[in-house]
Every structure is written in structure tokens, then in C-alpha cells.
Chains A and B, each alone.
Chain A
């Protein structure tokens, strides 16, 4: 059963993120949109980026259209609305471009379907979300293209649904491992230390790493951590740092280098959208005594499993759900095809 708070009032912006290409995000989007509509909470649908998926990962048939009920809001390009003129009340043209042209906000006047032209810029998404709010959407659903974590940014989404599809690996084992990695990294704890949080905010403001020495906050000697090991070691040893706040991405290589340089103190990232390291590297860092936290983090509100791969493979749905639930606990896991939603 889908947890009741998944689309409860506190969730206004939900991002749907795929673990891999053809994970089946559209199906989850449709299910959430339908749920929202059945509860008389008008949803606003927007797609982030374009990933070129053509086939439906669930059925192998052509990719499912995005379904809308009367009252659903969409953000898409003019030609996508023109294809079915009787379905839409066009509300507004917003200063945002998609690959198919300028983006309009429209409300469905009767049930139908639509192609969502992907909005490619973060600023554009913010404008769409503001527009949804202006026109009364109670829940914004963001269909994030494969590997675009931007949709899951905490300033944009207050809830994230991960879609773990069979397309993410050749075996159930591989899919489970990738899902676990994604969830573990996404769910690293938010920062509780007020001084470190302050350092994180300053790092974001100044656009460079900022460290803590004693009770004070000081700029880290390097404007970026993407340097050779010698310079990184020198910077690490330059002061008695007790923690470091990083404003940008933390890559696998940088985290490995920090571990090699003997950095075993807390690291703060601005959000999970900046975590680009593997679980293996993270484990090595944690084992050495390090800690990683986030300044802000959207809530992972669920993992949707899809046992069908568009390449033809199919995993045992029950086994997949059980195994994914084991590694994601306590995050709820749902199979929207078999279990339904809501």
C-alpha cells in the first residue's frame, strides 16, 4: 500500500528520478497524477530534459503518453498542445524554452494525453513551478530525465521518487546493488552542526570550499578540490581543519584523494544532487573515520520498481520488490503496475 503521506499536503513538489534509462518514470508520473486527480488535488506536470526514450519500459510498447485528467496542468511546448486543441485551456506563455519551442502552461478541460516537451534549465523549471502555483496546482510532478539529479534538488522538490527499473542492470543482483548505492548516498544525513551549516552556507555564497578551524570558519586554501594529490595534501595539512564544506560536486576521485590524504573529518555537501561518488568509495571514507552530510536534502519518499526491461528481459517482480525493499528500508517500495498506487 502506498504510504498515505506520499501525496499528503506537506508534499507540494515531487521529482521522479530514474535509476537508468527506460526505468519507467512516465508510468509512475501517470500513477501519481491519477492519484492526485482522484483526490481532487490538481497536479502540474513538467518534464526535465529530454532523454529520447521511445519505448515503454513496462510493456515494451511505444512509450506511454502522459495522461491527464480534467483540471491537470501541464508545462509544454505549443505544438504539443496544438496536437489536441480541444483538450486545453492555454493559460500563459512563460519565458522558458524547451527543445520544441517556447513553453506554455495549460489546463486540461477534458481527459486526454500530452507529450511533455522537456525544460532544460533549472531556472526554467523554477519558473514553471511558480506558474503551477499561480494557477492553483496543489502538487507539482517533475519527470526528471535519466541521470538528471537536478530535479531532486531540495529547493525544487520536497519529495523524490526513485524508479528502479530492470534496465539498470543485467541481473537482479546488479539492479539491487545500484538501487542500494543510490538510496544510501541520497539518504546520507542532513547536517545538524550549526557551525558546519554556517560554513556550508558561506561556501555556497562564496562558491569555494570553506573549512572550520577551532570555533572559526576559514576559506580553504584551494578554490576547487579538483587538484593533484600534492596540492590537496598541502591544503589539508595547512591548518588544523575540523570539517570542510564543499559548494560544488564531490566526485569519486576527489573523495578517494581526500581519503588518501588522511582527511577523516566531516565533509558537508549542499545537497545529494552534488554527490557523484560510488558507494565503495564512500565506504572506504567512512571506514577511515570520515563523515558526509548534506546542508539540505529532499525526502526520498519511495522507490518504484519495474521488473521489465525494454530490451526484453524481465525480472521476477515479487523477488525484485522484496530485495529492493530489503536494501531501501524504511523507504517504502511499490510496484505501480501490479499493486496500483493510492
Chain B
């Protein structure tokens, strides 16, 4: 699986995809079956991105054209359920034919629009001449209109029978009108909408009407008598003729629909290809439009490292903007092996992981990515151990669930992007640090691209890892930088900066604790307990089992 459910949650994947809205029913169905581009599919991936680049250029040069293309897609009806019917020689109902006509209409319109910009090859699979010919088959009476009905041009008998039916109806109406006038004149009552005369049974009119041989009592209630009038013998004949005309007309209409079904049966495969082409184009269009919302850049293939400059997580950036905040873009290079990120709590380490993961996942799903620049290989999967991975159903604690996921990675045959937020934090610090360093050392020799956010100094000592720190409070721990903003609020620099060789873990947890309201005396007490700290009561060596080896300085549970 390229992106498991837990990783999707960590990357806010569903929220990201809210901006991706395939316009057509076939596009939506196609997306549900979509799999991301994987190693070996670099050429197809590049082609998809190349197409989007051309589409974006066209839209940005002519927004009115873009709106028209969007309208064609948005009006595309769902024709997929019709294909099995037609293939089996069965006729859809009139609403089905209307949909098919609407499909051909919109496909032709879409093709014409794309041709205006020389982009019609993006709709390969559509045969415009065939679409037009089929459209005309469903619209035998020029001009072309988007509606559908069984017009006489389908079969001249339809026109003849309808005219005859109208003539008979008119004669019947005239006869009924004559009867209505006679009854109105004789009895002073008119018929209801059922052609019945309802009169008070106690009235004199009711008695007189009952005696009228042309009227028949068909119903009575406690209050009313209900009469109907028969027609003349000629009228009865016309009524019978009418029923026969209706029957014949319905038979002809059925014949026309069956004939249409036969005529369309040989075209089902080309129509299916056209629907697939529309689905493919729709996905491209919708990806392009989604990426425009985050001003995406085209990711480029690189054989080795993942390099992101100015990377942003659009969902988080939007939330921050609502709160008058600003997302600090992420610059990072991740080579095969392990890249370690250290930094203070709340310094943006986890967000950097999320952003990187989201960018790589979006790129492999064929999107332009929310970054100023992105070069990357295709990875086999993206998986993360971030935050609380407790799996209550499996009876696993956070530590257990995370270890299980990491163990699974070592069984993977192909390299994936691994996002690790402090492995080992769910257990005692000594063993946690040891495990964290051991996992890092093993991953450093693997085919994965692993990014490990940690507070353990031991991890930094693993050979061959690339190191970053979040800028955090800068040199605040040395007392040289004012880490409060003008408004007195906490001021954190979320940038990722390379950590120089030999540099250690920044010590800013106590500053942050103080800024977050921890009583000063507790913070001071904590400082005194740090071995080697000026004024430390503990001294450089702290006796007691394990204390000396454990050099995890900051809080064991990093926060965002």
C-alpha cells in the first residue's frame, strides 16, 4: 500500500484532497480506482505532469476558456450504466438516451474547446467525427439541440399517428363539449375534471338526470349522485379508434428506441473509450485546478535525493492564515538513508515531516506540489510513525504499535519515504535512545529515504546521517537573542537549517516551558538538575544506573 490509513491521517490527506474535485461521474469513478505512480513509471508520471503544465499555461493565459472547459466537464452526464444495456442490444429509457446525447454533446464541445488551444490530443480516445455522427443520429431534426424526444424525424409514422390522434382527440373533445353544453343548458350543472356530473341526490336536478337515457349513474354517496354520459355510436367508434392509434403509436415509439439501440451497439466500445478519455482528462484538469489553489510547482524527477524548497502544507497554511499566522516554508534535502531533524519542542519538526510527506504523496498522485521547487525520485510507499500510534484493537500500546510499524518497514523490498517522529519515546529514555539510534543506524544502510525527528543526542552520532535542526529560538539558550516578539508573545523560527558537523541538540525546552507559563522556580530547579549546566547541583556526572548514558535533554514527548 502506497499510503496507509494512519499515514493519511498524519498527512491530513483527506483534507488535502478536498480541493481535488473531479467534475465528471467517470472522473470520480476513475479516481476511486486510481493508484499512484510508482518506481518504474517515471515516464508516465512525467507525461501526466507535462500535460498539466500545458493545461495550466492555457488556463492562465485565457481564464474564460478555462471556465468553458470546466462547464463542459461539470455538465458531463453519467453514461457508464448505459453501455452494458446497449452492448446487450437493449434500449435505455428516454432519460438514458437524453444522457447519451448530453454526453456526446459535451464531448464534442470539450474537444472543440481543446482544439482551440491545440490541446485536443489530451482527449485521445475521442473520435470527434463519430461523436458528431452519433449526436446527429439522436437529433435527426436539425438544428442540434441539447434536449431529446422522439420527434417525427426518427420515423415518419410517428408524425402521421400523432396527427391522426390529435384529429380524433379534437372530434371527441367537440362531441364531449356538445354533451357538456346540452347538460349545462338542460340541468344547469357542469362536469368535474373526471368528466363526471356530481349532483346533490336530494335535488330535483338529480331526479331529472337519473331519468335522462344519455346519462348513467355510476356512483352514489350519502349526499351525491355521480353521472357520466355515454358517447354517440360514432363517438364510441372514435374512442376505439383512438385506443388503437395510441397502441400503434406506442409500438412505433418502441420500435424507434429499439432501432436506436441496434444502431448504437457497434459504437459501444468507441463510446467507452471516449468516456475513459474524458475521465482521464477530468483527473488531469481537476489535479491542475487543485494545484492552482496551492500555487503548485511541477515536481521533477531526480535519481537520488528528494529536494524540496519552499514546501508548504496547504491545509495547515490555510488554518494559520485564518488565525493571522503564516506557514514557514520547509527547505529540506533527503537522501537515501537517514536525515535527522532536531530542535526544540513546538519548533515545527513534525510539521516539516508532514509537509514533506504530503508533497511526495501529492507528487506521486500526479499533482503539482505546494513548493517553490521539488526534485524527487518515485518511492514505493510513504509511511509514518508520527504521534500516537496506539492500536487499541490490536492490544498494542503506542510503543508497541510504533515498533510493529517500523519492523514492517525492514521487510519492505523497495525503498519508501519513512517519516519518523521520535521512535522510542514511548518507553524508558535509556532504552528508547538506544533503540532510536539502532533503528537509525539500520535505516542509514537501507534503501529507504528516512526522516527521523528526534531529541536523542545518540541519534546524531550515527554515521552517515544528514542533520537538520529547526531554527527555534536561535541562540536564545545562550541568552543572546530575545525570543519574545514585540507583543511579548513567544517567537519561534520554524525554518529548517543544516546542523553543522559536531553540533549537538539545542537546549531550549526550559526556555519554552518558561514561556508557556511554567513557574520560574521550577524552571530554575530544572536547570540546576542538568549535568554540566552553570550552577548545576548535579555536577557533570550523575550517579545512578543509566543516568550517565541517557543524554536526552528535552522533553520526551515532542509537541507540534
Contact = CB atoms under 8 A, between A and B. Distances in A.
Interface of A: 27, 30-31, 34, 59, 78-79, 81-82, 85-86, 88-93, 104, 107, 109-111, 307-308, 314, 316-318, 336-338, 340
A140 B136 CA distance: 33
Nearest to B169: A111
A88 B149 contact: yes
Contact of B94 (A34, A81, A93, A318): A81
B554 to A, nearest CB: 44
11 contacts: A85-B150, A86-B158, A90-B95, A90-B148, A93-B77, A93-B102, A110-B166, A308-B221, A314-B221, A336-B193, A340-B191
B92, B148, B162, B223, most chain A CB atoms within 10 A? B223
B550 to A, nearest CB: 53
Contacts of A93: 77, 95, 98-99, 102
Nearest to A104: B95
A177 to B, nearest CB: 21
B93 interface: yes
A240 B444 CA distance: 74
B250 A86 contact: yes
Contact of A317 (B148, B194, B224): B224
Tell me if B's interface is mostly helix, strand, loop or mixed: mixed
Contacts of A79: 93, 95
B93 A85 contact: yes
A158 B224 CA distance: 35
B253 A86 contact: yes
Given A81-B93, A82-B94, A308-B221, A90 B147 contact: yes
Interface in B191-214: 191-194, 198, 200
Nearest to B250: A86
The 4 closest A-B pairs by CB, nearest first: A82-B93, A78-B95, A89-B149, A90-B98
B228 interface: no
A318 to B, nearest CB: 7
B193 A90 contact: no
A145 B50 CA distance: 54
A307 B219 CA distance: 15
Nearest to A27: B193
B198 A338 contact: yes
B257 to A, nearest CB: 6
A34 B102 contact: no
Contacts of A318: 200, 223
Interface residues of B, number: 36
A104 B98 contact: yes
Contacts of B147: 89-92, 107
B77 A85 contact: no
A91 B134 CA distance: 19
B256 to A, nearest CB: 9
A90 B198 CA distance: 38
A107 B146 CA distance: 13
Contacts, number: 80
B485 to A, nearest CB: 34
B234 to A, nearest CB: 22
A78 B190 CA distance: 37
Contacts of B192: 336-338, 340
A301 to B, nearest CB: 19
Contacts of A81: 93-95
Contacts of A336: 192-193
Contact of B149 (A31, A59, A78, A90): A90
B435 interface: no
A318 B223 CA distance: 9
Contacts of A337: 192-193, 198
A109 B222 contact: no
Contacts of A31: 193
B140 interface: no
A85 B221 contact: no
Nearest to A91: B147
Given A79-B93, A81-B95, A318-B200, A109 B193 contact: no
A109, A308, A338, most chain B CB atoms within 10 A? A338
Contacts of A104: 95, 98
A27, A85, A88, A93, most chain B CB atoms within 10 A? A85
Interface string B91-106: 0111111110010000
Contacts of B96: 78, 82
B249 interface: yes
B476 to A, nearest CB: 45
A86 B190 contact: no
A31, A107, A308, A337, most chain B CB atoms within 10 A? A337
Contacts of A316: 222-223
A340 B98 contact: no
A277 B198 CA distance: 38
B249 A86 contact: yes
A290 to B, nearest CB: 42
Interface in B137-159: 146-150, 158
B193 A30 contact: yes
B154 to A, nearest CB: 10
Interface string B307-334: 0000000000000000000000000000
A335 to B, nearest CB: 9
A109 B152 CA distance: 12
Contact of B162 (A82, A85, A90, A110): A110
Interface string B247-285: 001100100010000000000000000000000000000
A59 B192 CA distance: 12
A59 B257 CA distance: 37
A110 B169 CA distance: 11
B250 to A, nearest CB: 7
Contacts of A90: 94-95, 97-98, 147-149
Contacts of B148: 89-90
B228 to A, nearest CB: 12
Contacts of B198: 337-338
A30, A91, A111, most chain B CB atoms within 10 A? A91
A293 to B, nearest CB: 38
A89 B221 CA distance: 41
A307 B97 CA distance: 44
Nearest to A320: B223
B76 to A, nearest CB: 11
Contacts of B200: 318
A31 to B, nearest CB: 6
Nearest to B93: A82
Nearest to A67: B193
A27 B190 CA distance: 17
